[in-house]
Amino acid sequence: MGLDALFEAFLAVLNGGSLLFLMAGVLLGLTFGVIPGLGGTTALALLIPVTYTLEPLDAMYLAGGVMGATSFGGSISAILLNTPGTAPNAATTFDGYPLARQGKAGLAIGASATASALGGLIGLFTLLLFIPVAREVVLSFGSSEFFLLTILGLAAIAVSVKGKLLRGLIAACIGLLLAFTGANQFTGETRFTGGMNYLWDGIPLVPALTGLFAISQMIELALKGGSVADEETRSAAENMKITGVGEGILAVFKHWPVLLRGSLIGTVIGAIPGLGGTVASFLSYSSTAQTAKDRDTFGKGNIKGVIAPEAANNAKDGGSLIPTVAFGIPGSAETAVFLGILVLHGIEPGPQILLQNEREIYGLIVALTVSAIGASVLGLIFARFLVLITRIDVNIVVPVVVTLSLTGVYVLEGRMADVAVATIIGIFGYLMIRFDYPRLTLVIAFVLGEIAERSYHQVRLISDGNVLEYMLGRPISVILIVATIVTFFLPAMRKIPWRRLTGSAS
Amino acid sequence: MKKILVTGATAIALTVGGAAQAEFPTDDNITFVIPYSPGGGFDTIVRQFAPALETAMGTTVVPENISGAGGARGGQAVHRSDPDGYTIGIYNIPGLTVNEVTGRDQGFKLDEVTWIANLAVATYGLAVAVDSGINSVEDLCAMGQPTKLSDTGATSTASVTTRITFGILECDIVDVTGYAGSNDAMIAVISGEVNATIKPISSLAKYLDGSGTGDLKLILTLTEDEAVTGVPSATDIGHPELAKFTLNRVIGGPPGMTTEVVAAIEEGLRAASEDPSVTSWADGAGISLAFMGAAATASMMDDLSSFYEQYKDLAATAE
């Protein structure tokens, strides 16, 4: 058990057949990652029926390949088109896209690939460290901690929209409204459904994200015309060779504290079921941007703004396996599908999953490791060609992206209504861009709203109504409350002229 | 000329109509509708049965996931299709039954469905943390404050079962719903967030002594007879009606299917349920296969409707 098993799993993957499944997974993951709106969950959900005929271990390789590769794939579209390929890549657009417009897409992709690979490795390494105490970790995160984490996430958004606080709050409220659509978990009553069966389960995530990120950005690009890269930088970049990839790799090593912090945030958030990569990468981005000395350059093409979210985004896969090895429960949508694959093979996930299904679990860990590195290497090799996308006329880019995204939305559940939702939200998203409302605020509120509501009601019932008293009795809850307060007041505290204060004191 | 041929062919088809039906299902694939996304319990059982059903019936069986609206959308799709046997579906029972008696419009009526078979039955147990000091239902209900239980959604079968069971036992409870899955709900008992939970015994087994980690212990099984050694059954505590609560995997088709077609599919499913590939999978995954034919399934569905009808007020109230 332990390292021996892991070593054996690494040797096992070198078998020709296994490696083939893994590489197929990586390519598939990259493709689904690059296509805006579609992510790892979509790819895995579509793969489930295929894995039925595979050996459980081969299914793990395929699934792990997909999981490890999507987030890097998604960063490519985030950087080149300002359209996150998957929701967690949304934070990467803040600095990645400005870099692309400055003709430095190679730098951004190089940094993203390296941060993704290293973040993934750090996440898995942390998972291995956590395995002995995974049970305690999971048991110490209850409804109270879930609720406070969502509040911390919402607080981080509130302070991160510089100078647009009101617009940010309005967008967040719309996000909450959308999140509360459908059946109330507590009363079973339906809300805001307008009598439509379709809305019973709430507004589906994939169509909503596709609309908000992909469709809206494509409307914006189509109306603007030209190509993604600025005319001036374009001609300047044409004179230069498309380089900067190497520089991007070095940037990650130069800013290693950013990488490390992002990876740790990713692992911890990944371990909490339901929060997922969007929150992890966003918290990593905002904490880096808030504490950096050069914080004014964030949003204008700071490479640290690419490293932070991408490291967190890949590290969360390792983290999301912590609840899985402890109790057989999924830490993310992707691990949920992965557990589904096990069930399909007659393996019932439970608290003894690591003892009984060591082969499959270690197989998945190995697949994730190889995939994170493999996807990044592929990305680095092809970076110079991918960058050319920013020079293609948008009249070609827009129809291709819109068709791929909407087809993907339809294929997932086979519902035309999903396509309609993506389109309507897309138009709404364009209006948000046009009137300068932050879309990410809406997304985070949309993702967190349901968990926040649900866990709040749980705490209320569990604590017999004494919510605050109950929370203050739990150490991790107290830490989270303090973190939330600090997040809120950090920007204000910075404005206090500390040096003068301490100077006058002495 | 062509027209005459077509008319002739139609006439022949009409006269040998009986024979053609007996040949079911040779003309087409059978679409097996799953009203949930891939990877869940309903999806898994259908995909496990599909190959064995193919062998038994000699035609291709295509599982199709039509998820949404708490399983109602898949049910509607089956309801709308032709009753020729080429479209069948799996139903969330008693989830849909409870929805129906509490007045939710699901787009189709359960008593119009042609019931074909029941593949599996799960029975429930009531579990508490092993170190809780609670050893019986009386202990649980005599804590001086309402008992807290954990569940997924307020409309989930386990939550409805919980509310009705404790209503019958006249024991005050708070059902804390909103846990992401039944595993999460059981972990809430282990971590002490809540006092107890009612879940399928096969799911609880992972946390029980002997078969699992030993974090939980059973204090009651909702069964007629003793299901787990040393644990009282519903009959033992004087409420045999609690054994009515089960979780079923029921197969049905559109209204108006002929008895021949129903019998053919029923036989196919029966053969599949005895297939070694299916039985060995069920053993590993903790599923209790319990095949029931069309007639028995239809009467069970009627029974369930009237059973839940009695308790519809308890079923409808949350919190």
Q: Which among B204, B232, B207 is positioned nearest to B220, based on CA atoms?
A: B232
B138 and B238 both lie in a single domain? yes
B131 and B237 both lie in a single domain? yes
Would you say residue B318 lies in a domain?
Answer: no
**A-chain residues within 8 Å CB-CB of B193?**
142-143, 458, 462
Is B189 in the A-facing interface, judged by CB distances under 8 Å?
no
For A366-402, what is each residue's pLDDT tens digit? Answer: 898 899 999 999 988 887 777 777 778 888 888 988 9
* 3-state per-residue secondary structure call for A443-472: HHHHHHHHHHHHHHHHHHHHCCCCHHHHHH
pLDDT value for A229: 65
pLDDT value for A500: 63
Q: Does residue A1 register a pLDDT over 70?
A: no
**A-chain residues within 8 Å CB-CB of B176?**
143, 458, 461-462
Measured between CA atoms, the residue of chain B closest to residue A52 is B47
**A-chain residues within 8 Å CB-CB of B280?**
346
**What is the CATH number for B185?**
3.40.190.10
B252 and B213 both lie in a single domain? no
Mean pLDDT of B190-210: 90
Query: What is the complex's ipTM, to 2 decimals?
Result: 0.81
**Candidates A337, A352, A413; nearest CB to B39:** A337
Mean pLDDT of A277-303: 87
Q: Which of B192, B218, B244 is the last residue of a domain?
A: B244
Q: Which of B244, B267, B297 is the last residue of a domain?
A: B244
- How far, in whole angstroms, is CA A497 from its chain's centroid? 36
For B237-268, what is each residue's pLDDT tens digit? Answer: 999 999 999 989 999 999 999 999 999 999 99
Instruction: Give the model's confidence band at A307: pLDDT under 50 very low, under 70 low, under 90 confident, else very high.
Output: very high
Contact B161, B198 (CB under 8 A): yes
Mean pLDDT of A298-305: 91
Residue carrying the six token digits 């009986």: B18
Measured between CA atoms, the residue of chain A closest to residue B66 is A413
Average pLDDT, chain A: 84
Task: Please indicate whether, in this complex, the C-beta atoms of A351 and B155 are within 8 angstroms of each other.
Answer: no
For residues A160 and A151, which has the higher predicted lDDT (pLDDT)?
A: A151
Would you say residue A496 lies in a domain?
Answer: no
Instruction: Give the model's confidence band at B138: pLDDT under 50 very low, under 70 low, under 90 confident, else very high.
Output: very high
Mean pLDDT of B36-65: 87
Contact A383, A18 (CB under 8 A): no
Would you say residue B266 lies in a domain?
Answer: yes
DSSP 8-state class, residue A277: H
Contact B117, B293 (CB under 8 A): yes
Q: For residue B46, give the 3-state DSSP assignment.
A: helix
Is A328 in the B-facing interface, judged by CB distances under 8 Å?
yes
Would you say residue B8 lies in a domain?
Answer: no
pLDDT value for A2: 62
pLDDT value for A18: 86
pLDDT value for A501: 62
Would you say residue B176 lies in a domain?
Answer: yes
**A-chain residues within 8 Å CB-CB of B40?**
340
Would you say residue B38 lies in a domain?
Answer: yes
Q: A430, exposed or middle or buried, with CB in 10 Å at 0-12, 13-18, 19+?
A: buried
pLDDT value for B20: 42
**Element of type H or E holding A21:** helix A16-34
**Candidates B47, B65, B67; nearest CB to A52:** B47
Q: Which of B216, B244, B272 is the last residue of a domain?
A: B244
Mean pLDDT of A456-477: 93
Measured between CA atoms, the residue of chain B closest to residue A454 is B178
Q: How do beta strands B114-129 and B289-292 pair?
A: antiparallel
Q: Does residue B17 register a pLDDT over 60?
A: no
Chain B neighbours among A 5-64 (CB < 8 Å)? 45, 48-49, 52
Q: How far apart are CA A300 and CA A100, in angstroms?
A: 11
Would you say residue A341 lies in a domain?
Answer: yes
Instruction: Give the model's confidence band at A426: pLDDT under 50 very low, under 70 low, under 90 confident, else very high.
Output: very high
Contact A145, A474 (CB under 8 A): yes
**What is the CATH number for B268?**
3.40.190.150
Would you say residue A195 lies in a domain?
Answer: yes
Q: Does residue A422 register a pLDDT over 70?
A: yes
pLDDT value for B56: 92
Mean pLDDT of A96-104: 87
Would you say residue A175 lies in a domain?
Answer: yes
Would you say residue A224 lies in a domain?
Answer: yes
DSSP 8-state class, residue B233: B
Would you say residue B9 lies in a domain?
Answer: no
First to last CA, chain B: 72
- Among A123-127, A201-205, A207-211, A497-501, the range scoring the smallest mean pLDDT is A497-501
Degrees, nearest 5: CA angle A310-A311-A316: 100
Show the domain range for B281: 28-121+246-311
Across A4-13, A188-197, A477-486, B103-112, the highest mean pLDDT is recorded for A477-486
Total domains in chain B come to 2
For A188-224, what is each residue's pLDDT tens digit? Answer: 677 888 888 788 778 988 889 889 888 998 998 889 8
Would you say residue B294 lies in a domain?
Answer: yes
Q: Which among A78, A10, A60, A67 is positioned nearest to A41, based on CA atoms?
A: A67
pLDDT value for B10: 47
Q: Does residue A88 register a pLDDT over 70?
A: yes
Task: Please indicate whether, in this complex, the C-beta atoms of A48 and B39 are within 8 angstroms of each other.
Answer: yes
B71 and B208 both lie in a single domain? no
pLDDT value for B218: 94
Q: Does residue A39 register a pLDDT over 90?
A: no
Contact A173, B306 (CB under 8 A): no
Mean pLDDT of A215-238: 72
**B-chain residues within 8 Å CB-CB of A414?**
66
B203 and B296 both lie in a single domain? no
Tokens in use for A199? Answer: 């809305």
Q: How far apart are CA A210 and CA B184, in angstroms?
A: 30
Q: How do beta strands B87-93 and B30-34 pair?
A: parallel
Would you say residue A499 lies in a domain?
Answer: no
**B-chain residues within 8 Å CB-CB of A183?**
70, 153, 155
pLDDT value for A146: 87
| Beta-carbon pairs below 8 A across chains A and B | 138
Contact B67, B89 (CB under 8 A): no
Would you say residue A475 lies in a domain?
Answer: yes
For residues A243 and A476, which has the higher predicted lDDT (pLDDT)?
A: A476
Would you say residue A505 lies in a domain?
Answer: no
- How far, in whole angstroms, is CA A344 from its chain's centroid? 27
Q: How far apart are CA B129 and CA B140, in angstroms?
A: 11
Q: B236, exposed or middle or buried, with CB in 10 Å at 0-12, 13-18, 19+?
A: middle
Is B214 in the A-facing interface, judged by CB distances under 8 Å?
no
* Gyration radius from chain A CA atoms: 22
**Candidates A49, A348, A458; nearest CB to B178:** A458
Total domains in chain A come to 1
Show the domain range for A88: 3-490
Q: How far apart are CA B222 and CA A330, in angstroms?
A: 28
Chain A neighbours among B 34-73 (CB < 8 Å)? 37-41, 43-44, 47-48, 63, 65-70, 72-73
pLDDT value for B25: 75
Cis peptide before B146 (omega within 30 of 0): no
- Among A386-395, A415-424, B140-149, B216-225, the range scoring the smallest mean pLDDT is A386-395
B293 and B278 both lie in a single domain? yes
pLDDT value for B1: 47
Q: Does residue B2 register a pLDDT over 70?
A: no
Task: Please indicate whether, in this complex, the C-beta atoms of A343 and B41 are within 8 angstroms of each other.
Answer: yes
Query: Percent of chain A having pLDDT more than 70?
Result: 93
